[in-house]
Structure 1
């Protein structure tokens, strides 16, 4: 990793350390010890196993999209598994997870795949992921948002903004997929308007880049629709990937002996992830911890349990992935050309 990435790691560690420090300082040590004494070891293992399985599901998605075509090189499973691990690392150290997609592309090129082919695979995965995420967000918003809005109005505003941001981006994606001609016309009209504000030369560059993305999305969506078995395989694996990821807080609370409801905790988890979407810091540091404690403290009476559950959740879903990502970046597979 370069110096810029190392600075990202240091900033994340600093913010997370400060958050943990203030949490631990506000919670008596005796309370934390009592909560730690409730840990059930085999259930604790399940937290990390769930996250490992989420990375395995994502690796299987990539392998499914990359293989079963004539001339495709027979690459090891590690070649595909290291890609989501590297994504977890760069998602964690860049603001709003902007480094995840470029790092995946770099890892796929590094294992010998052509850049165009790698971009195509990542785009197909992104399309399926966004469609599944849309269903998850709509479900959480319909059945869980009223709970947050009724008790934590300030937090609810940011969750709504995160939800709106995701839905808007998914609507644009769906328009590019299913209303291609209308989308192209809309892009040209918007860029014409922006040209009056920022200058024609800059607007033309934006228009060219945007239309290339629209064409690419449309092309890949048509290719994906033509391979229905592969499409359903990717969708099912994406559901498995997200279920494993969303289950981490529930498993952390169960590891601490809490008799919590899976559906309720999972809905709260998805709302937390919506809130994290509007935090501009790497890994949404600070905001993630705050939202977790705010929501789960409402139905868990033991403050020590909430703090430890938050720490287990963040370590499993965030730092665990970053640690694995460093190994993934360090141990490169054989470079095989298609």
Structure 2
């Protein structure tokens, strides 16, 4: 992924004079860039607080250091797997290394995922109302991706809510949807798949009962998660300020970044490589006057939102958890 990233950066710089890029970098207003760096750090710290909040009454020996390892390792494995599929199992292994029971760890990660998805959908709805018309005018193809991305995330949260509140009905719907699978696989394989799905739905339903019984804790986690996302979504604004870009609309820039994140989630390449850089360049080109500044802004944004987490995750892998025997 590092080689892919270097290739994309090199391609983006093909029409940029090195002297212009170095001049923009030399004139960088570091105070604004440091704020952007603080934002990504706060994003990771707040996610650590979410994990710690869930674990507070489950395992007293689970320290904040153990909690910090979880999102950092998640960032690494999200960044190197298609559709960020490696993040969840990597978090589970990190919690097992800290002495957390597998069932408790799965429960915590499940609740964390539900809250995160819900807050993402809320953020997307707000950003669609504010910034979608801009994308529709700027590039119609991106607007279609945004709609599709929103539908994917919305379907996920609706599916989770259906399991939580209409458990039996959801099982019937799922079984109906997988029924055509009988035509393409052996009977034994189909039965195993059906039993596996039923088990997962039942497991999630049991965990959802715990979620509904911990209202105060869930409210606290929701507030932490929305603050976490806010810090992440603000990063492009501070990067552009560090490059001397003025007259920016904070709400519009933040809304566009939310929509970019939605688009990235649709690309099967790890980290949305290629699609992320292209989306950023297209949507923020009207805010940044010169091509060299636009490319530099894209590189700085990618370094903070993607590579910073990956390297932090590599470092977290080398740190031993505070496991108590």
Alignment TM-score > 0.5, same fold: yes
Query: 2:134: which partner in 1?
Result: 147
Equivalents in 1 of 2:40, 2:91: separation in Å?
18
- 8 Å Cα contact 1:85-1:324 kept in structure 2: yes
Equivalents in 2 of 1:299, 1:49: separation in Å?
23
3-state SS of the aligned residue for 1:198?
A: coil
Equivalents in 1 of 2:162, 2:154: separation in Å?
12
Q: CA deviation at 1:336?
A: 2.5
Q: CA deviation at 1:15?
A: 1.4
3-state SS of the aligned residue for 1:44?
A: helix
- 8 Å Cα contact 2:55-2:62 kept in structure 1: no
Query: 2:308: which partner in 1?
Result: 320
Correspondence for 1:213 among 193, 200, 205 = 200
3-state SS of the aligned residue for 1:27?
A: coil
- 8 Å Cα contact 1:195-1:202 kept in structure 2: no
Query: 2:69: which partner in 1?
Result: 82
Equivalents in 2 of 1:279, 1:190: separation in Å?
25
Query: 1:109: which partner in 2?
Result: 96
Correspondence for 1:305 among 290, 293, 299 = 293
Correspondence for 1:18 among 7, 32, 38 = 7
| RMSD of aligned Cα (Å) | 1.5
Q: Provide, for residues 161-183 of structure 1, a one-character-per-residue CA deviation record: whole Å limited to 9, x for no partner.
A: 22222222222112111211210
Q: Provide, for residues 284-306 of structure 1, a one-character-per-residue CA deviation record: whole Å limited to 9, x for no partner.
A: 11111111001100232221221
Q: CA deviation at 1:188?
A: 2.1
List, as ranges, runs of 4+ consecutive aligned residues in structure 1 with deviation greater than 4 Å: none
Q: CA deviation at 1:74?
A: 2.3
TM-score (norm 2): 0.95
3-state SS of the aligned residue for 2:62?
A: coil
Query: 1:171: which partner in 2?
Result: 158
Equivalents in 2 of 1:82, 1:94: separation in Å?
19
Equivalents in 2 of 1:53, 1:235: separation in Å?
16
Query: 2:115: which partner in 1?
Result: 128
Query: 1:189: which partner in 2?
Result: 176
Q: CA deviation at 1:44?
A: 1.1
3-state SS of the aligned residue for 1:26?
A: coil
Query: 2:256: which partner in 1?
Result: 268
Query: 2:45: which partner in 1?
Result: 56
Query: 1:47: which partner in 2?
Result: 36
Query: 1:68: which partner in 2?
Result: 57
Equivalents in 2 of 1:116, 1:123: separation in Å?
10
TM-score (norm 1): 0.92
Deviating more after overlay: 127-136 vs 36-45: 36-45
- 8 Å Cα contact 2:243-2:297 kept in structure 1: yes
Unaligned runs of 5+ in 2: none
* Alignment coverage as a number of residue pairs: 324
Query: 2:218: which partner in 1?
Result: 231
Equivalents in 2 of 1:103, 1:58: separation in Å?
15
Q: CA deviation at 1:18?
A: 1.0
Deviating more after overlay: 164-173 vs 86-95: 164-173
Q: CA deviation at 1:89?
A: 0.5
Q: CA deviation at 1:100?
A: 0.3
